[in-house]
Structure 1
Amino acid sequence: MQPDFPITRDILLIGGGHAHALVLRQWGMKPMAGVRLRVINPSPIAPYTGMLPGAIAGHYTIDEIMIDLVRLCRFAGADVILDKAVGLDPEAKTVTLASGRQAAFDIASIDIGITSDLPQVDGFIAHGVSAKPLGGYAARWEHFLQTAPQAPNLVIIGGGVGGVELALAQAYRMQQTGRSPTITVVDRNAQPLGNMGPKARAGMIAALRRYGVGLHLNAAPVRLEADAVVLDDGTRLQSDFTLSVAGSRPQGWLAQTGLDLHEGFITVGPTLESSARDIFAVGDCAHLSHAPRPKSGVYAVREAPYLFHNLRARASGAPLRRYQPQRDYLKLASLGDKRALAEKFGLRSGGAWLWWLKDTIDARFMAKFRDYPAMPAPKLPDLRPRDLGAVMGAKPMCGGCGAKLPAGALGRGLACLPGQSADLSPGDDAAILRRPQGVQVLSTDHLRAFLGDPWRMGQLAAIHSLGDIWAMGAAPQLALAQIILPRASDTVAERMLAEILEGAQSVLGPAGAALGGGHTTMGAELTVGFTVTGCCDRPVTKRGAQAGDALILTKPLGTGIILAAEMQITRPKSGLLGPVWANCVANMARPMGRDAAILAPVARAMSDVTGFGLAGHLAEMLGAGLTATLDHANLPVLEGAEGLARQGVQSTLAPANRAALRPEWDGPLADLLVDPQTCGGLLAAVPAAQAEAVLAELAKAGAPARHVGHVVPCAP
């Protein structure tokens, strides 16, 4: 998306299927001005189906078969919403999410895949595993491998190509772990592999025999138990792991959309548009009315260029393209070990070279989502100040608290302020207004957007703004919003504002703060902030810590590093960025009202850890003659943050924050100590004798609090 142009259209991609992933990559290479592209998916990663049997067999790691949607969306300039669609209103053009939120759109596409669960079978939810969605199955399988008995029983329900491939993969992996499994494929038909020709079917059945996998035909499950599958012919099969690959079932919520469906799948024509104008559907969730085809990822991949064109054409008013699927395609089926079988037009061949071919094709597809072309940096003018390039930097400026003014420049800028009046204390995290009874505290804060979901930005900005009130031990009272929206049409601006306020209200309401109004304007980029007030009898100030006090931190460190990595589309040396980023955002989204209520009665000093990092805010808490010893081994750190720090990832504010890092605090986690935190935790100095009881109470309240050090006298 080009920020120089106003946003006038919302395009919403519902689901992270193969076609949508390819559209996102194309969009990153060729964005469309004036469009806000958004993606809704419950997970930050999406599996590539073609490599699933290889992962189950152990030829690939689970990470190797996953598309990192968070990195992909950043490259595409798309906003990612980690939620699940559960409803759609074609007339109102809104999507209902599992969280209760609604997302509006002008143009939408649905690529949510299918499911293979069996909700109609008694006991399936409790004891069965679905092959689709794939992510859950892969995780359950890896866990089973760690706990499986020496001679496990496995049942695969569904004897199609997918079921047989996974049966062979599981058999191979079991043998590689030294186990002797009994594996049975159950199918309701008289013969398995109904979509394959006779020669290919014979080859797959021969592979089943080689691995000792049994076939139980003309039968279907009627009940799943903890250790068995009961079939409708009276057979009871022992089972330690029951997998369903029984055909393809559409997601149930589609039946309530009012769209034309075929056996539960969205009916689309040659342009991939559904019965409702501006709503497209692709992949396994769609039925091609003009050219019906079996469910296959091959068609989803080949639909992507047409969908990419048609989404843009609908937004611009250009003609749509028509997609005509091929009649047949090369089917490559895994045989457990590193061999594969191929079929096309009824012809069959097999062997190790076909595994090489399949592996090459799959690797080429996944390479599209591993490394992205570097976007060119803005060209500096020929005539410029000598220090312009140094101030701009080589990487994008961070959002959130990473965009704060450095402490040194801030302090020098504030030096010009006049002294305070007798009845107005400058306070610490918040200004303190004296009242006849108790005090009122007042603070303001805002965040430069670091993610594109306005609802989430509203939620996080509210939590961040309330941090100062909670740090003073006050009960939130009132909030006023200050919101800068990017230039947009009235319709899009109205949607964005409503989403921001709904996200903020999800925090302010439960915290007891009334949203009393505020101010909005349009500018270069999204910025969300709040002025907040709170009341208390005795404010907890930053200063007041005493030698011997225990230091307690209520949230893990690393948000600045992780948010910087996402902005820079960094690929971790191990693992995936998407889950790391999603976990970071989830930690940021935890309000701290309960933390403050536990700490305030006992804390001698308290502050929230934000832009200046733990080192900077701890330095502010220590009076003359005091320092602290830090327990690096006990510092809470977000998953993935240490690894990214070792790769050299840091927030743009981190170098300036190092000025507050005292020599005695240096150590293996120094990069985390100077990392600017957004929605960071509370740091409290409490009497050492009360620390254990406070930590126990915080744990009971769900806070991942840690005892991170002690206040001590400075060395003479």
Structure 2
Amino acid sequence: MHTPPLPLTRDLVLIGGGHTHALVLRKWGMDPLPGARVTVINPGPTAPYSGMLPGFVAGHYERWELDIDLVRLARFAGARVILGGVEGIDLDRREVNVPGRPPVGFDVASVNVGITSDMPALPGFAEHAVPAKPLGPFAARWAEYLEGDGPASVAVIGGGVAGAELVMAMAHALKARGRSAKVTLIDSATALSATGPKAAASIRRAMAGLGVDLIEQTQIEHITSDYLQLADGHRIEAEFTTGAAGARPYRWIAKTGLALQDCYIAVNGHLQSSDPHVFAAGDCAHLNEDPRPKAGVYAVREAPVLFDNLRAALDAGQMRRYVPQKDYLKLVSLGGKSALAERFGTALSGRLMWRWKDHIDQKFMNRFRDLPQMKPAPLPRVHAAGLAEALGDKPMCGGCGAKVGRGALRTALSALPATQREDITPLPGDDAALLTTGGARQVMTSDHLRSVTDDPVLMTRIAAVHALGDIWAMGARPQAATATLILPRLSPELQQRTMAEIMATATEVMREAGAEIVGGHSSMGDEMTIGFTVTGLCDADPITLAGGQPGDALILTKPLGSGVLMAAEMAGKARGAWVAAAYDLVTRSQGQAAKILRSAHAMTDVTGFGLAGHLQGLAETSGCGAVLDLDAVPVMEGALDLSEQGIRSTIYADNRALAPELPTGGKADLLYDPQTAGGLLAAVAASDAERLLAELQDAGYPAAIIGHLTGTPGLTLQS
């Protein structure tokens, strides 16, 4: 008997990808709560680990080593990930506000967004300095500055441990690069006042050994692009200025209506805010019952308690109290591969302490790099022949990777009788039909996609752009659309939330394209599937597959690789940054590109059959062949790396069989990769190609001329 997935009944929303939430997600993947839909919202696909930032600044770590990959972690946890910065929480409506999308509903929420070291009150800071937190933007700016040459000048504002670590790391990195540097640490009071006397003395000696100038008891009046003006009249030369002082919560927290302490979210021993359905952890939270300093060790120790209490808030278990430790081991990087360890007033320093710190940091990060591989359920002992082969050795892809192969589709369509209606014009090979109604020419197409992401908003954008592709490829103006939705089993409240997200997004995308949603149909199934039937109006003859001419240049408006990236993401093997970049590409409208290419002789959109399959269809229907310049074919970041690891979409083999004359291996394998919401492939007059390419690129499309049509049938690669 088929056992359908259990319904989802409650929404748990994790706001921020901080250390606490990252550990909660990892635990959730090991022990999920049936019926709970988990969502994590974060500005980017990764969350940097603060403990390794000084090591990165000093040059001991690569940039990627700092990052917890939230996209991969969310896949492991069975959670949906939303990439965006939160602007607020509506407690009455139980919604989280994220720019550019409908509100995200919740039953239980948790906030773990960290803090910022921005200094809005210091004149010139916003224009000429970069705060040390959030870590991602700071790390990128520092890496860019470090790559320069010639004398350097840097200044760090804030003489706490964080500022001291940063300034020593910067001094070490510049020295290792052979750049003469003026490095300054500035504090308005006494530096290192929160550390013990022995530790403070050791850190001061380390800074002096690296040539760091320490200025204390001095206010900064303003910052410019190349110096800091001090209140005592002195100017401190600084091309790169950062702030590690004045850490504060994000401004939107003050507008939530939650009880605050010094602008931080006040929480009780259960990590609950004044609203029992909203929790908070890490640096953005204030522990009412036992206040502690802002330190990552507390965020890490809060994770198992938060995990249990979130489940309890969802009616699964009992709340338990978080009891913070009174003191903790402080490990301070000293620039080079040396560190200081302090606890209970005892301080030790040297290379051994660095190795200890590195071991602790790497052990923490390995919890997210080496996620356990959950084994699929075994096949029943007794089953019909061919079941194992049909199931395959990997999960079925979503998007166009889940489509039926072209061979099976052609066989089924070839048996259909010819149309008997005079108002329908057959267009062999095209995915859209041409209708004539009252003298108006109208094209109609239908497409749907098995979800590649559990975020209904993102999936709706992908599916809508994908369905519109056939209209744009024929040079038509989108007119109207109906939606076809299959939702997984959800409680009535979650159904309403999900439908509202989908329809609001569909309306937005279709209206941007010039069309209106006029209806649709919905049902429930095992998983989310979203599709649209779209009509478009033709002001001129439609652009079909049949108009290509020998000598035409071939223009592609989007890079290849979405199929392999989405297959890798489902398998937990793709970097989150690659996946985020791919989603940005597949949700990009092709409406302006279609207008630019309205003079094309033939055009199609590159989707399920891959570039080779769709080019073959265009060439065959036009009575031509084609030569591809493989080097010129653009590909998405990470796609080639993953392809060379042998990662394939479900219908890769079927697509490969469409063009057996082309080679395989390396970049050529991406010619058969099924694309979801792929680019337009246009055959244009060679004399117009460069002008059209320039217009496309000026409009923001990563387009390229990738070959030309010939009078000889078949596909070949340019030698």
TM > 0.5 between the two?
yes
Which residue of the partner structure matches residue 323 of structure 1? 322
The alignment partner of 2:52 has SS state of helix
Q: CA RMSD for the aligned pairs?
A: 1.4
Deviates more, 1:697-706 or 1:46-55: 697-706
Which residue of the partner structure matches residue 243 of structure 2? 244
1:417-449 CA distances to partner (integer Å, 9 max, x unpaired)? 121123312331201102353410010001101
Q: Is the 8 A contact 2:423 2:437 kept in 1?
A: no
Q: 2:557 aligns with which of 542, 554, 558?
A: 554
Amino acid at match of 1:680: G
Which residue of the partner structure matches residue 182 of structure 2? 182
| Map 1:286-301 → 2, pairs under 5 A | 286-301=285-300
Q: Is the 8 A contact 1:340 1:354 kept in 2?
A: yes
1:241-274 CA distances to partner (integer Å, 9 max, x unpaired)? 0010014211111111111111110000100000
Amino acid at match of 2:529: T
Which residue of the partner structure matches residue 146 of structure 1? 147
Q: Is the 8 A contact 1:459 1:506 kept in 2?
A: no
Deviates more, 1:233-242 or 1:655-664: 655-664
The alignment partner of 2:338 has SS state of strand
Which residue of the partner structure matches residue 478 of structure 1? 480
1:19-76 CA distances to partner (integer Å, 9 max, x unpaired)? 0000000000001100100000011001111111001101110101111111000000
Which residue of the partner structure matches residue 650 of structure 2? 652
Which residue of the partner structure matches residue 70 of structure 1? 71
**Displacement of 1:714 after TM fit?**
1.7
TM-score, scaled relative to structure 2: 0.97
1:209-251 CA distances to partner (integer Å, 9 max, x unpaired)? 1011011111232211010111233321111100100142111
Q: 2:519 aligns with which of 504, 511, 517?
A: 517
For the pair 1:167 / 2:167, whether they are aligned, the reply is yes
Please give the alpha-carbon distance, in whole angstroms, between the structure 2 residues aligned to 1:491 and 1:244.
45
| Map 1:82-161 → 2, pairs under 5 A | 82-99=83-100, 101-147=102-148, 149-161=149-161
**Displacement of 1:100 after TM fit?**
5.3
Q: Is the 8 A contact 1:629 1:664 kept in 2?
A: no
**Displacement of 1:409 after TM fit?**
1.1
Please give the alpha-carbon distance, in whole angstroms, between the structure 1 residues aligned to 2:183 and 2:437.
75
Q: Is the 8 A contact 2:101 2:457 kept in 1?
A: no
For the pair 1:611 / 2:614, whether they are aligned, the reply is no
Q: 1:623 aligns with which of 610, 620, 623?
A: 620
Q: Is the 8 A contact 1:630 1:665 kept in 2?
A: no
For the pair 1:701 / 2:673, whether they are aligned, the reply is no
The alignment partner of 2:535 has SS state of strand
Which residue of the partner structure matches residue 717 of structure 2? none
Pick closer, same or farther for the CA change 1:248–1:13 going to 2, 3 Å. same
The alignment partner of 1:678 has SS state of coil
Please give the alpha-carbon distance, in whole angstroms, between the structure 2 residues aligned to 1:3 and 1:449.
17
1:453-512 CA distances to partner (integer Å, 9 max, x unpaired)? 111111111111101111111000000000011101110011011111122122101111
The alignment partner of 1:13 has SS state of strand
| Map 1:368-407 → 2, pairs under 5 A | 368-407=367-406
Which residue of the partner structure matches residue 7 of structure 1? 8
1:258-307 CA distances to partner (integer Å, 9 max, x unpaired)? 11111110000100000011100000000001110110000000000000
TM-score, scaled relative to structure 1: 0.97
The alignment partner of 2:369 has SS state of coil
Please give the alpha-carbon distance, in whole angstroms, between the structure 2 residues aligned to 1:14 and 1:332.
28
Please give the alpha-carbon distance, in whole angstroms, between the structure 2 residues aligned to 1:585 and 1:40.
16
Please give the alpha-carbon distance, in whole angstroms, between the structure 2 residues aligned to 1:702 and 1:65.
31
Please give the alpha-carbon distance, in whole angstroms, between the structure 2 residues aligned to 1:543 and 1:391.
36
Please give the alpha-carbon distance, in whole angstroms, between the structure 1 residues aligned to 2:229 and 2:151.
20
Please give the alpha-carbon distance, in whole angstroms, between the structure 1 residues aligned to 2:662 and 2:277.
61
Q: Is the 8 A contact 2:608 2:674 kept in 1?
A: yes
The alignment partner of 2:185 has SS state of strand
**Displacement of 1:12 after TM fit?**
0.1
The alignment partner of 2:654 has SS state of helix
Please give the alpha-carbon distance, in whole angstroms, between the structure 2 residues aligned to 1:3 and 1:222.
65
Please give the alpha-carbon distance, in whole angstroms, between the structure 2 residues aligned to 1:519 and 1:218.
69
Deviates more, 1:448-457 or 1:415-424: 415-424
Amino acid at match of 2:264: F
Which residue of the partner structure matches residue 262 of structure 2? 263
Deviates more, 1:226-235 or 1:162-171: 226-235
Please give the alpha-carbon distance, in whole angstroms, between the structure 1 residues aligned to 2:101 and 2:520.
25
| Map 1:273-672 → 2, pairs under 5 A | 273-316=272-315, 318-421=317-420, 422-427=422-427, 428-536=430-538, 537-570=540-573, 577-600=575-598, 602-623=599-620, 626-664=624-662, 668-672=666-670
**Displacement of 1:696 after TM fit?**
1.4
Q: Is the 8 A contact 1:458 1:502 kept in 2?
A: no
1:545-588 CA distances to partner (integer Å, 9 max, x unpaired)? 111010000011000010011000015xxxxx111100000001
The alignment partner of 1:332 has SS state of strand
The alignment partner of 1:433 has SS state of strand
Please give the alpha-carbon distance, in whole angstroms, between the structure 1 residues aligned to 2:4 and 2:218.
59
Amino acid at match of 2:111: I
The alignment partner of 1:607 has SS state of strand
The alignment partner of 1:40 has SS state of strand
**Displacement of 1:411 after TM fit?**
1.3
Please give the alpha-carbon distance, in whole angstroms, between the structure 2 residues aligned to 1:464 and 1:3.
28
The alignment partner of 2:547 has SS state of coil
Amino acid at match of 1:268: V
Gaps of 5+ in 1: 572-576
**Displacement of 1:99 after TM fit?**
2.6
Q: Is the 8 A contact 1:158 1:185 kept in 2?
A: yes
**Displacement of 1:351 after TM fit?**
1.2
Q: Is the 8 A contact 2:170 2:335 kept in 1?
A: yes
**Displacement of 1:667 after TM fit?**
6.6
**Displacement of 1:378 after TM fit?**
2.4
Amino acid at match of 1:523: G
Q: Is the 8 A contact 1:629 1:665 kept in 2?
A: no
Q: Is the 8 A contact 2:308 2:317 kept in 1?
A: no
**Displacement of 1:98 after TM fit?**
2.8
Q: Is the 8 A contact 1:457 1:503 kept in 2?
A: no
The alignment partner of 1:439 has SS state of strand
The alignment partner of 1:333 has SS state of strand
The alignment partner of 1:623 has SS state of helix
The alignment of Structure 1 onto Structure 2 pairs a total of residues equal to 707
For the pair 1:226 / 2:225, whether they are aligned, the reply is yes
Q: Is the 8 A contact 2:154 2:184 kept in 1?
A: yes
Please give the alpha-carbon distance, in whole angstroms, between the structure 2 residues aligned to 1:714 and 1:317.
68
**Displacement of 1:6 after TM fit?**
0.5
The alignment partner of 1:338 has SS state of coil
Which residue of the partner structure matches residue 574 of structure 1? none
Pick closer, same or farther for the CA change 1:93–1:164 going to 2, 3 Å. same
The alignment partner of 2:362 has SS state of helix
Q: Is the 8 A contact 1:429 1:469 kept in 2?
A: no
**Displacement of 1:379 after TM fit?**
1.2
Gaps of 5+ in 2: 715-719
1:170-218 CA distances to partner (integer Å, 9 max, x unpaired)? 01000000012111100011x2112101110000001011011011111
Please give the alpha-carbon distance, in whole angstroms, between the structure 2 residues aligned to 1:207 and 1:150.
25
The alignment partner of 1:707 has SS state of strand
Please give the alpha-carbon distance, in whole angstroms, between the structure 2 residues aligned to 1:381 and 1:20.
37
Amino acid at match of 2:607: T
